Structure 1
């Protein structure tokens, strides 16, 4: 019996496929709620969207959240990570074909480079590094490697004496950990902490409220309070079996009372039965070349250890021959 080879096609994202896009993300093996259009659309005004949908016949087999700056496509400049999102049914050959089709699609639209931030393995629902091998075969360069700290709840190291000392201080001071609508106070505290480093929060208070209202099951705020004062807190993102601290902030009074140690300790104790990992995010700068040793030391004190967050650059200005070679080798 013969069979029909279905043609692969690439199309720009359009509003009429929002439902299809979101449904595909939810059943993918490496997509997260950050790749849903309800999340990506909150800052759409900041970027020239260049996201694509890859189909085999009529069926979506991959999507690529992306934006364009000049002759470079980023996946995605407005997200911690992006890359090609694909499903459980897609095998290596499908991912390779999708990547080659994507490269040729962008090349035909005067794009010369793709900047690629893959989903780290701890956030994947199932092993999904097919795209990394395809990138390697196409000659992509590793251009940045950030350092991130992660707790694996099972068999995690004990909390350090310094962190435990902070927790004990907080208990003696009568601090309470609460989840609730403290975003205004938290954003004010976060802004005051970041201004000392000549920085501002990536998200405005309005954006934080919007995202938390759209994803109430995925985004939470946990804070330490003493009487009516917010002393420390973290804005938490829940990705399946991974809990991620998107922001951490602590006041001067909170530092003296171990408030942040207390919040993190409480979250660890409450989250261990439900989650496999807790991610503290990056502690590096200058494209991964510098490390905030004090911040790493603090996170390691809770039992976290290092993973890396890689960024790749793929020059597609003369990729057609290489793509044909990759197809020929299969």
Structure 2
């Protein structure tokens, strides 16, 4: 049985000029808005190109999707769909406790360095660095203080602080997820994976973009909307044919299949992924492939991910050619 969708929308492909006021003005005609926000880079405060709009009713959310999804606005084709979580609340680290989650720890640090960072704020019962993770956000860790008061003091004093001179990012320190929050995350992740085509065979409609797998008449209509506004967009060339795979360079050593799924699934239903690894270390050699169900997914992935910074490198993402093929995607 399919759950009734909530009234919160995820909006993607927003130009840097679109701020919160402009986003609200764009969505205001379709119903009463409860909350609206643009997601920004924590360090630069620049827009990440996506945001959330929550309406007071599901009907208003449906109306906004019907009128705005696939519309050319500010140089990009808007993607508007139901979000996995409400925009007005955080889903992690909201329940106070003595356990803390820490992010953006310098890659050269040890458990002892982490201990010395937290000792001035109370009695540290346990601390350990987490292996792997996203290189663009630094290392993660778990720290357990003696009580909630000490954990709260550590958050107040260390969150958003540069841990050492020359560190790339400020620390993120928050209460660790409770068992209930972890279950909610897993449920949201499973639901998103099912809708995005990560689990099992995905239907072409799961690509999630207007015109991706429509009948010929509708594809022509979609292209006509763009032409009528006096704009030319490459989406009009790849709605029905063209490469459906992308070639990726400059991946971090810890990149694996899940790494690719998490970053490339938002752009369309994925059929398969492949990461080239070193035979001895089993680490990624910096190269990967993502095969989409329809060509539109590949085109959108190139537009969104080419040039994205991961750690100290910038991804190179391009449409797959036969000359780059290293064997079948698995």
TM-score for both structures, normalised by structure 1: 0.26
Greater relative contact order (CA < 8 Å, ≥ 6 in sequence): 1
